[in-house]
Amino acid sequence: MKKFLIILFLSSLSLKAKIHHNVKITLKKDITTDSTEHIFSGLCKINGNGHKLTLTKNSKIILGPDSLLKFKNIIIDNFNNIFIDEGSEILIGKNVTIIEEV
């Protein structure tokens, strides 16, 4: 079943997707994403250092199957553009502010 999920997941990626596997990202300034899909897999951490991550209406963060993404010290604008695949989790650590567009 897992192989089927991964094949299905990979076949749905756009050509503009950027894949991040087992990464630790630290923001040094506020970031606004473009119209790219950012795919995270494995164990990933994003430390915002108090900065803001803004997802535009055409950008997405996708957490792949059986992965973990942890946010810390960050403001996330347009959180509803973050999608989680089966068996994955997002952990909200210290000092995280979530803004959802309606």
State the chain's mean pLDDT as an integer. Answer: 83
Residue 4's pLDDT band (cuts 50, 70, 90): very low
Which of 68, 82, 65 minimizes the C-alpha distance to 4? 65
Strand-pairing partners, residue 60, are 37
| Rounded Cα gap, residues 35 and 71, in angstroms | 21
| Rounded Cα gap, residues 65 and 58, in angstroms | 22
Residue 53's pLDDT band (cuts 50, 70, 90): very high
Q: Which residue has the higher pLDDT, 52 or 34?
A: 52
Residue 102's pLDDT band (cuts 50, 70, 90): low
Sketch the domain layout of the chain as residue ranges.
2-99
pLDDT at 100: 86
Q: Where are the beta strands (DSSP E) in 1-102?
A: 18-21, 24-26, 31-32, 37-41, 43-54, 60-63, 68-77, 82-84, 89-92, 96-99
Give how far Cα 68 sits from Cα of 16, 29, 56, 72, 90, Å.
22, 24, 22, 13, 6
pLDDT, tens only, 6-50: 333 444 444 567 888 999 999 999 999 887 889 999 999 999 999
